Chain A
Amino acid sequence: MIELDLHHEFADFRIDIGFVAQSRCVALFGDSGAGKSTVLDAIAGLLKPHGGRITLDGQVLFDRARGIDVAPARREIGYVFQDGRLFPHLSVRANLLYGARARRRPASELDRIVALLDLGNLLGRKVHNLSGGERQRVAIGRALVAQPRILLLDEPMTGLHREARQQVLEHLRRLKRELRVATLLVSHLADEVAALADEVILLQGGSVTAQLASAEFAARVGHAPDAPG
């Protein structure tokens, strides 16, 4: 469960976002500039908000008033960036194992994640040889092999062509069914959100405008929601 109360001021933009999200897959939906990625950065610890409080499953990650700010490396979060950010000097396999090694955890999940994301034939390759869809699947795998408490997905399908998007979406649905990892998805694409999310938080201009169950969201935007995972 994420409890978030976030206040932050950029040069020309102010964010005041608060929500409590309990579902396994929660989506933050809104146009560009709504503050979606800022929320993910704040949860991951990459942005230090000017005010507010963030808790994950009861653990305080950030509390401005109490001076609590857990270092990003210790938050145990899996962050899949929009641009992948794979390590170019490492093989796919080494990328996948990076987080498990950094957290000194056994790579027991590697085989399962590789199978779920169909990465078996990519393991020995360097990342610059991968297509956009393959890169994003590796980025998702890298975050999951480290066994995060929550998976943050920042527009994971933006920039991919139609076929690659469909593939990544299918893999995300499969992960949702099989792994049951808490996920916070950021997207401006309604079909993506409708296909994955159990709960949708609508953001506009730096604040929450509504919090909807997936069926309500689907009805509002005209997409069939995913079957319960």
Chain B
Amino acid sequence: MMALSPEEWQALALSLRVGLLSVVVSLPFALGLAWVLSRKRFPGRLLVEALMFLPLTLPPVVTGYALLVVFARHGWFGEWLAEFGIVFAFRWSGAVLAAAVMGFPLLVLSIRVAFDHVDQRLERAAETLGAGPWRRFMTIVVPLSTRGIVAGCVLAFARAFGEFGATITFVSSIPGETRTLPIAIYELMSMPGGDSGVQRLTVVALAVAFAATVVAAFLGGSLWGRRRHD
């Protein structure tokens, strides 16, 4: 029962690739935004936070539609990006973009909590030793936030791995290109005799999601309630 068919392997591999790439692509932006939200007070900060959280609260299909409006070939930026050979709609890169947008709030939130926990007096000490803002960020803030950053990456990956609504709306279901594991499950459910495939992929999805949650809880636990070790 557990031997996956080639198509199911394809969907699993695509989901893993989309999940990993979405985290890699969004991590620099998440680090920057988390730092700004943790350290800076500025007008419009609340608006920035609200916008960042939108993908968590909006129906995913609306997020997918918004991505279409912006990045479709004839969307706001689609035509302009196409001139540089960058196309998202109905491509695996679009699945990465949709997954990155959906996982972004979790990534920023986790990193921001970690940044909030860094003793800012250490940053002041580094400053007196000649460290500029970038060096302080890279040598003090990021290393002391490693657990929170990794926990955020794992959570965002899990969210991206399971992403369905925005992805199917934005890039549809093209085998080998955009048919990720959740989309494959959905399609198998409406196919005669697809039950065993649904069960196999469900077990895989459960295993990945459970492993990611355990890792995130283990890494993030010290930040989200348990006693800190450092």
Contacts and interface: CB of A to CB of B under 8 A. Distances in A.
Chain B interface helix/strand/loop/mixed: helix
Contacts of A76: 130
Contacts of B143: 89
B126 A87 contact: yes
Contacts of A75: 128
A98 B124 contact: no
A99 B129 contact: yes
Contacts of B122: 85, 87-88
A46 B127 contact: yes
B128 A46 contact: yes
A227 B135 CA distance: 42
A73 B131 contact: yes
Contacts of B139: 98
A78 interface: yes
B129 A81 contact: no
Nearest to A77: B128
Contacts of A203: none
B128 A79 contact: yes
B124 to A, nearest CB: 6
Interface string A180-216: 0000000000000000000000000000000000000
Q: Which 8 A-B pairs have the closest CB atoms?
A: A99-B129, A102-B130, A103-B130, A85-B125, A79-B128, A102-B131, A72-B127, A89-B143
A78 B144 contact: no
Interface residues of B, number: 17
A62 B217 CA distance: 48
Contacts of A44: 128
B130 A73 contact: yes
Output the residue of B122, B125, B139 with the most chain A CB within 10 A. B125
A81 B230 contact: no
Given A46-B128, A73-B132, A83-B121, 18 more contacts: A72-B124, A73-B127, A73-B129, A73-B130, A76-B130, A78-B128, A78-B129, A81-B125, A85-B121, A85-B124, A85-B125, A89-B143, A89-B230, A98-B139, A99-B131, A102-B129, A143-B129, A146-B130
Interface in B69-120: none
Contacts of A46: 124, 127-128
Interface in A63-107: 72-79, 81, 83, 85, 87-89, 98-99, 102-103
B142 to A, nearest CB: 10
Contacts of B131: 73, 98-99, 102
A15 to B, nearest CB: 19
A77 B129 CA distance: 7
A128 interface: yes
28 contacts: A45-B127, A45-B128, A72-B127, A73-B128, A73-B129, A73-B131, A75-B128, A77-B128, A81-B125, A83-B121, A85-B121, A85-B122, A87-B122, A87-B126, A87-B140, A98-B129, A98-B139, A99-B130, A99-B131, A102-B126, A102-B132, A103-B129, A103-B130, A128-B230, A142-B129, A143-B128, A143-B129, A146-B130
A147 B140 CA distance: 21
A49 B92 CA distance: 56
A85 B121 CA distance: 7
Given A89-B144, A146-B130, A102 B135 contact: yes
B94 to A, nearest CB: 39
Given A46-B124, A81-B125, A88 B230 contact: yes
A143 B230 CA distance: 23
A76 B128 CA distance: 7
Nearest to A94: B139
Contacts of B130: 73-74, 76, 99, 102-103, 146
A102 B138 CA distance: 12
B151 to A, nearest CB: 17
Contacts of B129: 73, 78, 98-99, 102-103, 142-143, 146
Most buried by B among A75, A85, A128: A85
A155 to B, nearest CB: 15
Interface string B178-195: 000000000000000000
Given A85-B121, A89-B230, A72 B144 contact: no
Contacts of B121: 81, 83, 85
